[in-house]
Structures are given as C-alpha cells and as structure tokens.
A and B are shown apart, each in its own frame.
Chain A
Amino acid sequence: MRRFVLLVVSATAIACAAGCATQMPAPPKTQAVNPKPVAAGPGPEKTTEAKVLPPGLDPSVNPDPYPSTYRPLPSATTAIVNARILSPGAPEIRQGGLVMNGGKIAAVGADVKPPPGATIIDAHGRVLTPGIIDPHSHLGVYPSPGVEAMSDGNEATDPNTAQVWSEHSVWPQDPGFAHALAGGVTTLEILPGSANLFGGRSVVLKNVAATTVQAMKFPGAPYDLKMACGENPKRVYGGKGRAPSTNMGNVAGYRAAWIAARDYQRKWDDYRAKVAKGEKADAPLRNLQLDTLSGVLRGEIRIQNHCYRADEMAQMIDISHEFGFHIAAFHHASESYKIADLLRREGICSVTWAEWWGFKMESFDGIEENVAMLQRAGACATLSSDDENLVQHLNVEAALAMAAGNRAGLNITRPEAIGWITLNPAKALGIDAKTGSLEVGKMADVVLWSADPFSVYAIPDQVYIDGGLAWDAHDPAYQPKSDFMLGQPAVGGQR
C-alpha cells in the first residue's frame, strides 16, 4: 500500500518555523484519496458524483509519488560524556554530555547522567557539534568521476525546467557522499544547476550510504525549487540565440512563468469548485512544470534562488511580492551584505561562501565578512559548498568567516559561527525543527571532532546520523565505500 504523506501541512508548518517575515498563503485542504481505477464501460460518466481522475492526472492526489524509504542506521542508546558541547543558540558547555536514544537526542547539558545500559563514549574533552548541513550541493547529480556520461545536474534545454526533479538525477554511488560524511556532513540539499531561470526541484538527503536515492531522502523535508538570476541563464540561452539573453529577459521569463502558474492554479480551483457543486467539469491537463510553480504559490515548495548581486536580489524580492510567494534563500549571494536589512525584513536566508568570490562579474564584490555582517544585521546567514571538495571542510570555511568577521570588529561567537553550517542551513531548508542543533527531541545528528572544529587540524572522529554511527575515522567497519571504489587497485585511503 502506497503511503500518502500530507507534505502540504507539515511543510508549511516547518517553513514558518524557519521565520517567515511575510504571511504564507494558507495550505489548501487537499484530501488525499486513493486513486481508484476508473470503471470501463460505455456511456458518459455521471458528473454529479465525486469524480476521481485516473492515476497521475490529479496533482493533489498523491503529492509525494517518490516517497522517502529512509531508515536510520542501527543504533543503541549512547551517551557521549566529558565532551565540550558547541551548538548554535546556546552558550558553549565546557564539559558536558549528550545522550542519544531511539535516533533522537534524549539529553544534553553539563549534568547529563548516562542512562543504565547505555554505550558510553568518553570524549576526553573533544568537541561535539551538530551534524553539518550543506544547503547547496551537487553531489550525485555531478558525481565523481566527473564524466559526461553522468553529468546530470543541468537540464539546459529550456530556461524553464521547473518540471525536473534533481532526485531523478542523483547517483547514490557518488564517492563524494562518503567524503562529505568524513567531513561531518549529515544532511545535504542536492540542487539542479543554475543554467535555467527555473532549474527544477531540489531534494534534501540524509547523508547515508544507500542503493537508491529514495533511501536517502530526508523524511518530511519540504521540496524546493531552484531558480537562477544573472549571468548563467542569459549566457546559456543567449548563446543559443534565444531568450533570455539579458537580465531584463531573465525577469520577463520569471514573470511569464508565474503568470502561467497562477492561471493553472485558477483552472484547477475552478474545476474543483464545479466538481464540489456537482457541475459538469473537465479537469485541466496536468502539467508538471506548473505543478511545481503552483506548489510554490501555495507555500508548499520553497524557493532556493541562485542570485549573486544585491540589485538582482531586490528585483527577485519584488517579483515574489508581485505574485505572492516567499523566497527561502538566496544562494551564493555574494552581495547580501549590501542589503542585509532588506534580507532580514523579508526573512530570507543567504547561502554563501567565505572564500569563493570573483570568478565572474556578478561575484566580484564577494567578501569574506559576508556571513558575519548578515549575522550582526540579524539576517539568516549560512555557508555552503557547491563543491565536492569544499563540502568536506565547511568547518574551516566557518572558521575563516568568523575570523574575518572578528577582524572587522563584529564579535562573532563560536555558537554563532557553528550555526552558519548547522542550524541556519536547516532554517534555509525548513528542517530546523528536526535537526541543526543539539537539543532534546531533535534528530541525533552529531559530530565528535578530533580537535576544535574551527581548527584546520580537526577531523571528525565519529559522525552519528539519527543516533546511528555512520562514520568512524578510526574503524574501517564504519567507513562506507561506494560500489564504484570496489576492486580499484589504486585506492589511496579513506580520504
């Protein structure tokens, strides 16, 4: 029996927990109904009865057709004691403990007593942090080896490919996942590339070794839609002699798409109203592209918007107001520091870097202090990798950003800086009620570091995902290896 997940309600609730400045549209009261085979037979159907469309034709039925089959790794009740605990939103605990039970954090603090029968790990003063969350990754869709045969991240055939879903391109055997895990990453958002105005849906994954992408999907995480501003879409399509070839062409493209989405939504609303009144009605033809866009308009799908320049971000915000949706995060966001107040007011996260900038005109004004300046302005600030190497070292990126902020006199605290790679990305993805900090009741996604995580010399000794030991730097039995790496005589080491 297929499981129907009412993603609609939970997604919106989580989304607003992430701090919506603008009012989200109320979710529709969609009834999830088991699709029944339509009776074959002569004569028109009676339209006075509740009509069930054939499977796949009604987008409100089965809103989660590719459900998560994620199951946490095996776990035992585990207490990590004598640890320094570093988690966003709370003062650092010099010496404390953390208990994981049933996949959740059961206790955390200075005076935690291991429950009877718990496996006890003495941290000997090492640092515990939440698992790292990378909100901008292309692992699996641009996997290693980077061969053309598996270059599946950009459906660069049309400026609007809102109909594609990155999860349908993810290769779970990408060796990059295990490397990211070795770097302490427990959750990732895998996005389509930025060639298109609308690149497609993103997927949030738990960083567990799996044979199918469904088995990695973060249960209950909302979907996102990748949009892209600026140079990439106009270069890709302008280069083909078609629209868009300018920034104004980009904006016209976004607006035309939202108009189509509103119209599509209206047609379905009219249809449902007629059906409800028992009137004769033809269902609109389902359109996957417009399903995703109208999901955004209903507040179910969140916008992750690749956008570098401050002026372009301000344009995108106006577009969001024009059509009534909310942008969850600007990605790359090199110039967010120029409009930090606007981003705070709008409740929009910035998913950026400390060290990556200047590779094209639109990133030329990127500065190391970006996240620190956003933090001090009260805006949501996060780092990300967008890279299969950087994803393994996001702790160092946070350290560089904190150091730069403090040289600027911004007095960034360690819990604030760790938040840039844990809780804040969880907010950007709408999963902060479930993970991103060491709090009782949250998923036990935990990293035990060999040294201070803001040191380049630190590596994760152990990484737990939902309480299960997913990585142990000192025990090959807990070092997942991709099928691709098997039987390769040249393999050089765990990382």
Chain B
Amino acid sequence: MARLLAPVLVMLGLAAPPAIALAETVAITNAHIYSMGPSGEIASGVVVVSGGRITAVGASARIPDGARIIDAHGDVVTPGLVATNTPLSTVEIAEGVEETNDNATASGVISAAFDVQYAVNPNSVLIPIARLGGVTDAVITPTLSGRHERKNMIFAGQAAVIHLGQGPDLLEKTHAGMVLVMGEDGARIAGGSRAAEFVLLAGLVEDVRAYVHNLANYDLGHSRAYGLSRQDLEALIPVVEGREPLMISVHRAADIRQVLRLAKDQKLKIILEGAEEAWSLAPEIAAAQVPVLLSGYADLPQSFDMIGSTLENAARLNAAGVLIGIENPPIYEGGRTPRIDAGRAVAHGLPFAAALASITINPARIWGVADRIGSLEPGKDADIVIWSGDPLEPMSAPTAIMIKGVEQPLRSRDLDLRDRYLHPTDLPPAYH
C-alpha cells in the first residue's frame, strides 16, 4: 500500500516506482457508489480492483481472498475526474516564464502537426495538486499561439490524454483530437474577418483531400501548392476522413450554425468548444449528435461573440440531449479541479448526475477513451476517488485517490509549503 510504502521510499530518497509495480487487489467497501456506468448509483456497495483494473462493482460484489480492504464508511466513491481542455503538464508557469510554456507554437511550419504529447512533463509539480482535486486523468489540448507569422495557422494542434499517476509515462492516448480555433481569435489569424475563416478552412480541408489523392506527385513536386506544410497535411488526414475528432473553439450562435453545416458537408467528426451561445440552438446540436465542451463559469458578454453567455448553458444543452463536458480552466487560473464548476452548473439547473457525468464519463466519451476511463465498470482502469462528502461541494475533498489501481499519496508541493510554515521551529523554515 502506498500509504505504508511511501515514507520508506522518501527515506531512501527514491522516486516512486512505475505505477504497475504497486497495483494490488483492493476492495473498497461500504461505498456510496456513483458508478457513472451501467451500475448507476449504489447506496452501499463494493468496488473491487485487481491488476490496475476494476474487476467488480456492485451492492454485493464478491471480495477476493487476500484483498486489501478500504472501508469507505458510507462515503461517496466516484470514478476519478477527467480534466478536459487543460494545459496541465505542458505549462509550469504561464506568465513571465515562457520557456516552460509548451502548449502552443508560433512555428511557421507546424500548426495542425503540433502535438502536445511531446511536451508532457511527468515531474510537473502541478500534477499532484490537480490530483488532490480528485482529477485522475486529463485531456491536454494545445492552444493557439498569439504570435503566428502565417495567416493560415488556425489549427492549434493535436490533443493527448494523460493519467495523473506517478511514473515516467503518463500518456493514455495520443492524437486524441485536433484543435481548431474559430470566432474572434481565429478571425484575427485569418486576416481579421470570420468570413475569411470559413473560406480558409474549407480550402484547407480540400487541400488535405487533394494531398491524399496525389501523394506520389507531391513527393515529385508535381502537385499544386497547398496552404499547409507536409507535416500539417499529414496530421489532418485522419481528421478529414472523420476518424479523429476536430475540436472547434467557437462562441456565437451564427458561427456554431456554420460550423455544424461545414461538418455535415465535409463529413467531419467535431466537438464544439466554448460554445457560450450553444443553448440557443440546442435542438440542432443534439440532432447533429455533436458534443459540447463548455465552461462552468462563463456567464458574461466578455466579447461580442458571447453576448448570450449564461450559466444555464450546461443545463439547457443537457436537457436537449446534447452530450456535454465541463472544461477545467488552467490550474494556474483557479482550475485546481473541475468539480466546483460542475457544482455551479447544478446551482443553475443541471441535474447532479449529469453534472458528475460532465466531468467523468462524458469527456471520456467525447475524447474516445470511454473504454478505459470515466466510469466504474469491470475492465476499466481503476481510477477511483473516495470523497469526504458530496464531490461537487467545496467543503468536500478526496480522502483516497487510486490511479490504475495504485493508491496515490495525498501530498503536493503546496502542502509541503503549508506544513513548513505552519509548524515553525527554532531553525529557519528552510531546515524543515
């Protein structure tokens, strides 16, 4: 058990060993389970974990011989939260330390080909802090650099899914999706008008299709000029073929409508992001079966693109049958955890179960990793949190966190700082 082993490792000055080495057979008993899967809510049940995976969930699941028992004492047990659309692990300090900012590029050659998987830093001190917010998995999305030299760089690049366990390899899924920025930010890069964005995008999609059909000629220099580099064209092939989702940051209702039309015409699999005015065309979005990743706090007309921004966006989209995920702002912008934003959506009309889904199973489905994370189901990764109370309430906190079957230490750099100054001694704080 990590709780016993961790101090020993600290004493020996060793880094934690790879996660799988500690995976054990565990039964979490007396658990108020929100499975977010077929088992639904179980007022008092058991979750069994073995070999890093969930093996049973139920009111009376059999506890294997020799399993370590964690008695939840009736507390809430949920799947680990999924932080979606975060730069976690690719940005350490956002402002004034640009050299630690690796989630955007101003390269003149690479936009769609930009791939955040190569920037993931498992030693980021922000990861344990996010983990203490109950987050066990995160979707790392690139952002658009404000410094692009070329005017057709409206793609921010490719997303990756990571877990927040310990060890050198956090990647769960690469090429999880392509990020495209439209609205005012995209318009700026497209020459100042959103009208240009749509023309540009349609042209780029045609370029990728033409490139695929003329690969041999491209290498011989016999194809026409394309608007993107070879790396970008290659990265976009699974997107134009509808195999990889295209997440489009878009805000105002008119733009969302155009995006839906474009996706239909071009047969693209899209995810709407931001989408502050999406509520006003919720039935159309539901009919198109397009999921929405939205902010859990946006409610102001912060630009002319989001005059209709409201905290009821989540509730209205959900009621219309749209699959929604609530995003997690960057951890250094107050986003230690997405759970409070999900709770806020409940205060503004979203049912509790839908809110919990919006930060667990829904983002897992939207990003194509629901076969492994996002719910407590046999066969899935054992990413599990035991809570001191309602997981969406600020007064609650995780009391145990398990990732891939490994119980995580409830420690982080900020708790080290806290304890150093909470308990002064005769020596300066640097000595303790």
Name A's B-contacting residues (CB within 8 A): 144-147, 175-176, 179, 231, 235, 337-338, 353, 355-361, 363-369, 373, 387-390, 392-393, 396, 399-400, 402-403, 407-408, 454-459, 484-485, 488, 490-493, 495
Pick the most buried of B277, B298, B307, B343: most chain A CB atoms within 10 A of its CB.
B307
What residues of chain B lie closer than 8 Å to A490, measured between beta carbons?
Answer: 252-253, 277, 280, 307-308
Say yes or no for B201: interface residue by CB 8 A criterion. no
The answer to whether B97 and A361 touch across the interface, beta carbons within 8 angstroms, is yes
Which residues on the B side are within 8 Å of A457 (C-beta)?
Answer: 343, 346-347, 393
CB<8 Å pairs between A and B, sample of 7: A176-B300, A365-B417, A393-B297, A454-B394, A455-B393, A455-B395, A492-B309
Considering only CB atoms, which chain B residue lies closest to A340 in the complex?
A: B421
What residue of chain B has the Cβ atom nearest to residue A235's Cβ? B96
- Chain B residues engaging chain A, CB cutoff 8 angstroms: 93-97, 126, 252-253, 277, 279-280, 297-304, 307-313, 331-334, 336, 340, 343-344, 346-348, 392-397, 414-415, 417-418, 421-422, 429
Counting from the closest, the 7 A-B pairs by CB-CB distance are A492-B310, A490-B308, A456-B343, A399-B394, A360-B95, A358-B332, A359-B332
Which chain A residues border B392 with CB–CB below 8 Å? Answer: 456
Query: Which chain B positions have C-beta within 8 A of A356?
Result: 332-334
How far is the CB of A481 from the nearest CB of chain B, in Å?
12
Are B340 and A400 in contact (CB-based, < 8 A)?
yes
- Give the contacting residue for A359; candidates B95, B252, B340, B395; CB below 8 A: B95
A145-B302, A147-B303 known; A495-B332 Cβ under 8 A = no
For B301, give its contact among A365, A366, A390, A485 (CB under 8 Å).
A485
B395 close to A484 (CB less than 8 A) = no
Task: Report yes or no: B301 in contact with A175, Cβ–Cβ below 8 A.
Answer: yes
* Nearest chain A residue, comparing its CB with the CB of B415: A367
The answer to whether B93 and A389 touch across the interface, beta carbons within 8 angstroms, is: no
* CA of A353 to CA of B331, assembled, Å: 14
Q: Are A389 and B332 touching (Cβ within 8 A)?
A: no
Q: What residues on B are CB-neighbors of A176 within 8 Å?
A: 300
* Contact in complex: A146, B397 (CB < 8 Å): no
Q: Are A492 and B279 within 8 A (Cβ)?
A: yes
| Contact between B394 and A456, CB atoms less than 8 A apart | yes
What residue of chain B has the Cβ atom nearest to residue A458's Cβ?
B347
Contact between A454 and B302, CB atoms less than 8 A apart: no
Expressed in whole angstroms, the Cα–Cα distance for A367 and B277 within the complex equals 35
* CB-defined contacts of B280 to chain A, threshold 8 Å: 490, 492
- A359 with B333, Cβ < 8 A, contacts A408-B422, A490-B253 known: yes
Cα-based distance from A399 to B311 in the complex (angstroms): 20
Cβ contacts under 8 Å, B393 to chain A: 399, 455-457
The chain A residue sitting closest to B392, CB to CB, is: A456
By secondary structure, the B interface counts as: loop
CA A248 to CA B273, docked complex, whole Å: 44
Residues in B whose Cβ lies below 8 Å from that of A390: 334
Does A491 lie within 8 Å of B307, measured CB to CB? yes
**Interchain CB contact under 8 A, A358 and B299:** no
- Chain A hits for B346, CB < 8 A: 456-457
Query: Are A399's CB and B395's CB within 8 A?
Result: yes
For B419, the closest partner residue in chain A by CB is A408
* Interchain CB contact (< 8 A) of A491 among B93, B302, B308: B308
The reply to whether A389 and B95 form a contact with Cβ atoms under 8 Å apart is: no
Chain B residues with Cβ below 8 Å from A488 are 301, 307-308
Alpha-carbon distance A363/B126, docked complex (angstroms)? 13
Point out the residues of chain A lying under 8 angstroms from B301, CB to CB: 144-145, 175, 484-485, 488
Nearest-Cβ distance from residue B280 to partner chain A, whole angstroms: 7
With a cutoff of 8 Å between Cβ atoms, the chain A residues found around residue B277 in the complex are 490, 492
A31 to B348 alpha-carbon distance, docked (Å): 55
Q: A402-B395, A403-B395, A456-B346 are in contact. Are A361 and B96 (CB under 8 A)?
A: yes
Q: Give every chain B residue within 8 A of A458 (Cβ-Cβ).
A: 347
CA distance A390 to B298 in the complex (A): 10
A145 / chain B contacts, CB cutoff of 8 Å: 301-304, 307
Identity of the chain B residue whose Cβ is nearest the Cβ of A389 in the assembled complex:
B297
Contact indicator A492/B394 (Cβ below 8 Å)? no
What is the CB-to-nearest-CB distance from B97 to chain A, in angstroms, rounded to a whole number?
6
B414 near A338: Cβ-Cβ < 8 Å: no
Contact of B300 (CB < 8 Å), options: A365, A388, A400: A388
- Indicate if the CB atoms of B418 and A408 lie closer than 8 Å: yes
Contact check, A337 vs B421: say whether CB atoms are below 8 A apart.
yes
Cα A458 to Cα B395 with chains together (Å): 13
Docked Cα-Cα span, A457 to B393, in Å, equals 8
Chain B's nearest CB lies how many Å from the CB of A148?
A: 11
Which of A360, A368, A388, A400 lies in contact with B414, CB distance below 8 A?
A368
- Alpha-carbon separation in the docked complex, A337 to B336 (Å): 20
Query: Is B302 a contact of A373 with CB atoms below 8 Å?
Result: no
Residue from the list B311, B334, B343, B396 in contact with A355, Cβ < 8 A: B334
Closest residue of chain B to A396, judged by CB?
A: B394
Q: Which residue of A lies closest to B337 (CB)?
A: A355
- Using CB atoms, name the residue of chain B closest to A407: B397
Contact of A367 among B252, B311, B418 (CB under 8 A): B418
Q: What is the minimal beta-carbon distance from A312 to any residue of chain B, in angstroms?
A: 15
Determine the distance from Cα of A407 to Cα of B411 in the docked complex, in whole angstroms: 12
A399 vs B347: C-alpha distance when bound (angstroms): 16
